[in-house]
Structure 1
Amino acid sequence: MRYGILVFACFALAMVSCNSDDDNGGPEAIPPSLLSEVAPEDDETIREFLNTHFYNYEDFDTPPEGFDNKIIIDTIAGENAGKEPMMESAVPITFNVSSSHLGLSAGEENIEHTLYYIEVRQGEGNSPAYPDSTLVKYQGSLLNGTTFDENQDFTWNDYRNIAVRGYADGIAQMRAGTSDQIVVNEDGTYQINNSGMGIIIIPSGMAYFNRSPSTLISPYSILMFKIELGLYKENTDHDNDGIPSVEEDLNGNGFLGDDNTNAEEEPLGATPRPNYQDPDDDGDGISTRNEISDDNGNIITPYPDADGDGVPDYLDPDN
């Protein structure tokens, strides 16, 4: 069953608590916890999970006859007491998260969050950049095993529709398959024989944090994804302006939502258009593509900088 959490566009209201004080006149919103408080708590919970659980690595090391390539996670206990904990193969990757990235006003900047990635099967292709469109099968769950979203058939993921930042960051650690290894099955489905497979565990600050997008995901939930990465579109250009979306990360913080060159000129109340979604990045009325192309439509690199001030024309409204 597919719940579509990855493309969830409207988040639930913040939790409220009832206050009987007549002066308040109604429920009082509970302020979000601080990223700096939640991040280390999440990391401790994730590490405990990784140390007490294992996945069926032996099946992937030596596939039994008829193996379906499914990732299965279980507790290290009883007859499984001797299994290798997931922590042994987990790779921690640190990212900086600011409260503004989550639409919060706490003013916290660059709070370290650690995502954990386990390579279950290495793909034979290359790795995507985090904004690249990817062809995947996936299953999303909580650490208690509750599944909240999955797609058992390959589907294209578009960065613009991914609400969980850590999901894209985790897939960027994987290697994909190659198009020459696509096999079409009799039922019309297909498989990619040299695809990559992995497990991603995401702290709440790189997921929904204090939001609750469904009844299955409570605020401050840690999310886990089992991923099969088939293919990806290299240098995905979401606004077709000639600049690959990964190059629109001007401050290099791994988050595209805060790179908006003409933010101050956007109409009051309008939905912000960060550069990777804006075909006219500097808002000067000349499209980005025109400002980086010659008369024949060929893109010029390095990108033109007419006044030599170090800012390319497509980001410089003065040109």
Structure 2
Amino acid sequence: MNKAIKAVSLLILISVFYACKKDDGYNIVPPRDYGEQYAAELPLIEEYLKTHYIESVSTDFDISLKEIPEGGTQVSIWDQEEYRLQFKMVKSNDVDYKVYYLVLNEGVGDAPTRGDNVITAYRGTILDGTQFDYRPFPDSYSSLAISIEGWQEIIPLFRAGLHDDSPSPDPATFTDYGAGVMFLPSGLAYFNSSPNSVIGAYESLIFTFKLYAVEYTDLDGDGILNKDETEPGIDIKDYDTDGDGTPNYLDADDDNDGHSTKNEITNQATGERYSFDEIPTCEGGTLKRHLDPACHE
């Protein structure tokens, strides 16, 4: 039974990621070493941060970044204090990436995980300022699970906004939403592929973005939301309680005992699933029953 559960879980993942790839492979060149490529890109990203400044940030968190002119006295993105430059270390393909980002507004609503759906407005450019994508008025959710890796790392650092329910002929509006800027090396974006005619292979990217809304999902269909398939301070991709190499949020049998998580969190007397907080532990145990291989019905 355990093998069947794992097989079903794998098929779900394959179907999700195959149906919605992060790019269409406009052009693909032979891959380079990830570490060597990052070592070449990092100085260029940092040079950009030291030679450009924040011209303005509107009340709607639209930001304008401009190059400091020769002899200019503007304070660079690197040195300015109003929106302090931050970074997150990301391990990917055996490379320790330093991902720079700006927080224009943290937001007040729910924070997504890398597996959830989000409504985002955004603008994407390459380092020379050329725009390759622009979505100012999003009208539907998109999945972070099939986005580029940089988005999966940075967007969850922000929170959604508040939906404005007042009657209006305009599209849905939000207030106090998360907003920021991310500066991505190609290893966390499209690397050696070119998804369109603007983005070249090995192109570093800049995204300005606004996180309007979050929809929590359950990618493995086990009855537990992705956000609950971890512990505080642990990214869902790093939480694998049975050590089988598949994180819990993508694993339909979290304790690898041959009994599906969906079944183990169901009250056999009523046929109803427990809410996450009400999932019981085994008698004499401390783990919730779906995480304890010694406990199942």
Regarding TM over 0.5, the answer is yes
Give 2:12's aligned residue.
none
Q: How far off is 1:192 after superposition?
A: 1.0
**Structure 1 residues 305, 214: CA separation in 2 closer, same or farther (over 3 Å shift)?**
farther
> What amino acid maps onto 2:131 in structure 1?
T
Does 2:135 correspond to 1:143?
no
Does 2:76 correspond to 1:77?
no
**Structure 1 residues 249, 310: CA separation in 2 closer, same or farther (over 3 Å shift)?**
closer
Q: How far off is 1:141 after superposition?
A: 1.8
Does the aligned pair in 1 maintain the 2:254–2:290 contact within 8 Å? no
2:143 to 158, 170, 173: 158
Does the aligned pair in 2 maintain the 1:185–1:191 contact within 8 Å? no
> What amino acid maps onto 1:298 in structure 2?
Y
Does 2:108 correspond to 1:124?
yes
Q: How far off is 1:224 after superposition?
A: 1.1
For residues 129-278 of structure 1, what are the structure 2 equivalents within 5 Å? 129-154=113-138, 155-162=140-147, 164-179=148-163, 181-183=164-166, 185-186=168-169, 188-233=170-215, 235-246=216-227, 248=229, 254=235, 256=237, 276-277=249-250
Give 2:8's aligned residue.
none
**Secondary structure of the structure 1 residue equivalent to 2:154:** helix
Q: How far off is 1:123 after superposition?
A: 2.4
Q: How far off is 1:215 after superposition?
A: 2.5
> What amino acid maps onto 1:194 in structure 2?
D
Does 2:31 correspond to 1:11?
no
Structure 1: state its 5+ residue gaps. 1-5, 16-29, 99-108, 265-272
Structure 2: state its 5+ residue gaps. 1-19
Does the aligned pair in 1 maintain the 2:161–2:176 contact within 8 Å? yes
**Structure 1 residues 146, 221: CA separation in 2 closer, same or farther (over 3 Å shift)?**
same
Q: How far off is 1:177 after superposition?
A: 1.2
Give 2:46's aligned residue.
47
Taking the aligned partners of 1:303 and 1:202, their CA distance within structure 2 comes to: 42
Does the aligned pair in 2 maintain the 1:183–1:193 contact within 8 Å? no
Does the aligned pair in 1 maintain the 2:117–2:214 contact within 8 Å? yes
**Secondary structure of the structure 1 residue equivalent to 2:78:** helix
Q: How far off is 1:315 after superposition?
A: 8.4
Does the aligned pair in 2 maintain the 1:261–1:282 contact within 8 Å? yes
For residues 54-93 of structure 1, what are the structure 2 equivalents within 5 Å? 54-57=53-56, 59-60=57-58, 69-77=61-69, 81-88=72-79, 89-93=84-88
Does the aligned pair in 2 maintain the 1:137–1:152 contact within 8 Å? yes
Does the aligned pair in 2 maintain the 1:141–1:223 contact within 8 Å? yes
Does 2:91 correspond to 1:96?
yes
Taking the aligned partners of 1:196 and 1:275, their CA distance within structure 2 comes to: 27
Deviations 1:138-178 (A, max 9, x none): 1122112222222111332212331x111121112223212
**Structure 1 residues 279, 177: CA separation in 2 closer, same or farther (over 3 Å shift)?**
same
Deviations 1:186-236 (A, max 9, x none): 3x3122122222111111111122222223222211111110111223x53
Does the aligned pair in 1 maintain the 2:193–2:201 contact within 8 Å? yes
Give 1:105's aligned residue.
none
Q: CA RMSD in A?
A: 3.7
Does the aligned pair in 2 maintain the 1:117–1:173 contact within 8 Å? no
**Structure 1 residues 77, 305: CA separation in 2 closer, same or farther (over 3 Å shift)?**
farther
Higher relative contact order (CA 8 A, sep 6+): 2
Does 2:289 correspond to 1:290?
no
Taking the aligned partners of 2:291 and 2:158, their CA distance within structure 1 comes to: 32
**Structure 1 residues 37, 241: CA separation in 2 closer, same or farther (over 3 Å shift)?**
same
Give 2:11's aligned residue.
none
Taking the aligned partners of 1:207 and 1:256, their CA distance within structure 2 comes to: 18
Q: How far off is 1:134 after superposition?
A: 1.8
Does the aligned pair in 2 maintain the 1:183–1:190 contact within 8 Å? no
**Structure 1 residues 198, 249: CA separation in 2 closer, same or farther (over 3 Å shift)?**
same
**Secondary structure of the structure 2 residue equivalent to 1:172:** helix
Taking the aligned partners of 1:147 and 1:243, their CA distance within structure 2 comes to: 39
> What amino acid maps onto 1:38 in structure 2?
Q
Taking only the aligned residue pairs, the percentage that are identical comes to 25
Taking the aligned partners of 1:283 and 1:290, their CA distance within structure 2 comes to: 13
Comparing 87-96 and 303-312, the one that deviates more: 303-312
Taking the aligned partners of 1:50 and 1:280, their CA distance within structure 2 comes to: 45
Q: How far off is 1:314 after superposition?
A: 6.2
